[in-house]
Amino acid sequence: MAALDRMTRCYGARLVAIGKAHCGDQGRDAVQDALVSAAEHLEDFRGDGSLEGWLTRMVINACRRIQRGRKNDPSLHVEIDVPTPQAPDIERRDLAKALGDALSALPPDDRAAVLLADVEGWSTAEIADALDMSPGQARTRLSRSRKRLRSLMASTWQSWTQVDTN
């Protein structure tokens, strides 16, 4: 289990961020599942890409398994009573919700490409490795995903930039 400890030390924080971006509060569980699986199957790592890319792919796949399992979970549909924030907080919350909704509307690999590039700062080569595609496919997916995200956010941006003249 020395391999598990080393992978956790080297990549744990970044993998948790990716896990949380993909499956919210259960991101840590996905990372734990992925790291245990990686330690058990380390001999399967071919070395074609980076170890970090391989681990990222395992975390993303673990998140997909978690999301498939919780799709119809009734607890996800319960209303939560949240205290009313102040005006600037409301605007930030509304924008964050709109962005979250728009990201959720993207297919999983499109969402992953955007998050890995724009949140994690990964190169298209790293994204290609993590999502098991060519760098050209990663560039195309990222471009199309960003375009779709802009389209989904257009009405939100419009309402934010309109000035009330009444």
Q: Assess whether 68 and 98 both reside in one domain.
A: no
Q: Assess whether 105 and 161 both reside in one domain.
A: yes
Q: Assess whether 60 and 132 both reside in one domain.
A: no
Q: Assess whether 101 and 147 both reside in one domain.
A: yes
Q: Assess whether 91 and 140 both reside in one domain.
A: yes
| CATH code, domain carrying 159 | 1.10.10.10
- Residue 142: per-residue pLDDT: 94
Q: Among residues 19, 47, 76, which one ends one of the domains?
A: 76
Q: Assess whether 93 and 112 both reside in one domain.
A: yes
14-28, 38-52, 80-94, range with the lowest pLDDT: 80-94
29-38, 46-55, 88-97, 121-130, range with the lowest pLDDT: 88-97
Could you read off the pLDDT of 137-164 as tens digits, one per residue? 999 999 999 999 888 888 767 666 564 4
Q: Assess whether 112 and 159 both reside in one domain.
A: yes
- Residue 143: per-residue pLDDT: 95
How many domains are there within the chain?
A: 2
Q: Among residues 15, 43, 76, which one ends one of the domains?
A: 76
Q: Assess whether 97 and 123 both reside in one domain.
A: yes
- Residue 106: per-residue pLDDT: 86
Q: Assess whether 65 and 92 both reside in one domain.
A: no
- Residue 68: per-residue pLDDT: 78
How much is the pTM? 0.54
Q: Is 44 exposed, middle or buried (0-12, 13-18, 19+ CB in 10 A)?
A: exposed
Q: Among residues 76, 104, 128, which one ends one of the domains?
A: 76
CA 116, CA 123: separation in Å to the nearest integer? 8
166 CB neighbour count, 10 Å cutoff: 2
| CATH code, domain carrying 60 | 1.10.1740.10
SS (H, E, C) the chain: CHHHHHHHHHHHHHHHHHHHHHHHHHHHHHHHHHHHHHHHCHHHCCCCCCHHHHHHHHHHHHHHHHHHHHCCCHHHHCCCCCCCCCHHHHHHHHHHHHHHHHHHHCCHHHHHHHHHHHHCCCCHHHHHHHCCCCHHHHHHHHHHHHHHHHHHHHHHHHHHHCCCCC
Contact of 35 with 13, CB cutoff 8 Å: no
Give the domain range for residue 61.
1-76
Q: Per-residue pLDDT averaged across 122-136, rounded?
A: 87
